[in-house]
Amino acid sequence: MANCHAEFQDYIRELDLRAGQEDKLRTSRDALIVKIKSQFTKQELKHPRFESQGSYALETQNRPIDGDFDLDHGVYLQHYEDDEEVSVHHAMQLVQDAVEGHTGQPIPYKPTCIRVQYKATKDEPAHHVDLAVYRGKSDGTKLYAHRENGWLGSDQAGFRKDYYDQKTDQKHRMVRLLKGWADHNGGDGESKLPSGFHMTVCVLECFSGSADRDDKAIVATAEKLYARIKAAYIDKTGAAIKRPVTPGEDIFSSFSSSRIINFATKLGTLVKEGEKAIDGEKEASLTVWNTIFGGRFEAPEKGGDSKSSSIWGHPAIIGAHGEAGA
């Protein structure tokens, strides 16, 4: 039986942002915060509050295959009265007007955020910052602006707390591994695999660990997740997977049956091929893992060792996140 735990650590390091990329994201984020505050000052409006969210805040950020790395940031509007009726369009337009033209790139239509796109350079791939817009109320209630679904309940801070309350080092790695797997195996439309948010909740619900063996843990977690998806969404006999905090919705409620089936099918393949890799000889096992996770999962030369100690050294550090631009 092949133990490929060390090679999985290499793969996770390969998913890290490259040197300087996190600094670039922070610089871009902070410049946008300055622009937004300046615009609100001109309009004599109370400054929004800003808060990190998404994979950056959870430290589960991977460098995507297409190179367009990103950061999610929340903009919490605080100038509205509690009983004031405010349209989502008006709230999002306030923020969009503040950052329009900042990079010279058009702002695309996104129902859930305002995306500020930065061009690729000769030295770096493109990157973008997604600004999610919220409305805060005096009682602590937070509402999320969705262009198509209106104002929705939200608790990003609660989600971060829930994640870190449940986090273990291996569980944390499973999130990044499933995201890396989805990046390699995903497609478009009905073949598109779930987002990083979905994978994070799925790991929280279906994690199955294995001491000192990430290769075994990813197969066990995928097997448990496959069973859960099949029972809940295909056989209709099990409980849905829900966001653990407000608004507590079924995270797959918007998925069509064919998209769910595609996800389940690919999970089944991950389990089947992963079991084959665990039971096989080392060289053959590494070839299987390379097929499952793609070219970034590189096997050492025949007879060689994992490259982690000799090449990669320490992984990139994604620092403490939370309140920003205050």
CATH of the domain at 100: 3.30.460.90
Residues 150 and 198 in one domain: no
Residues 179 and 253 in one domain: yes
pLDDT digits (tens, 9 = 90+) for 200-239: 999 999 999 999 999 999 999 999 999 999 999 999 999 9
Residues 71 and 106 in one domain: yes
Residues 150 and 182 in one domain: no
Question: For residue 138, is it within any domain?
Answer: yes
Question: For residue 113, is it within any domain?
Answer: yes
In angstroms, the Cα distances linking 90 to 5, 51, 57, 142, 145 are: 51, 21, 27, 17, 10
Question: For residue 309, is it within any domain?
Answer: no
Residues 96 and 211 in one domain: no
Query: Range of 193's domain?
Result: 168-295
CA distance 132 to 299: 39
Angle at 311 between CA 310 and CA 317, to 5 degrees: 115
Residues 203 and 248 in one domain: yes
Mean pLDDT for 168-195 is: 96
Residues 46 and 137 in one domain: yes
Residues 79 and 185 in one domain: no
Write the CB contacts of 170 (distance below 8 Å, at least 6 apart in sequence): 209, 210, 214, 217
pLDDT band for 9, please (50, 70, 90 cuts): very high
pLDDT digits (tens, 9 = 90+) for 67-104: 889 999 999 999 999 999 999 999 999 999 999 999 99
Residue 144 bridge partners (DSSP)? 134, 152
Question: For residue 174, is it within any domain?
Answer: yes
The structural domain count of the chain equals 2
pLDDT digits (tens, 9 = 90+) for 228-286: 999 999 999 999 999 999 999 999 999 999 999 999 999 999 999 999 999 999 999 99
Which CATH number belongs to the domain containing residue 198 in this structure? 1.10.1410
Residues 201 and 289 in one domain: yes
Last residue of a domain, one of 122, 154, 186: 154
Give the per-residue pLDDT at 67: 84
Residues 83 and 192 in one domain: no
pLDDT band for 299, please (50, 70, 90 cuts): low
Residues 29 and 107 in one domain: yes
Q: What percent of the chain has pLDDT over 70?
A: 91
Using the predicted structure, report yes or no on whether residue 321 has a pLDDT greater than 60.
no
Give the per-residue pLDDT at 162: 97
Question: For residue 205, is it within any domain?
Answer: yes
Using the predicted structure, report yes or no on whether residue 313 has a pLDDT greater than 70.
no
Question: For residue 204, is it within any domain?
Answer: yes
| Average pLDDT in the chain | 90
Give the per-residue pLDDT at 298: 84
Residue 88 bridge partners (DSSP)? none
Residues 224 and 114 in one domain: no
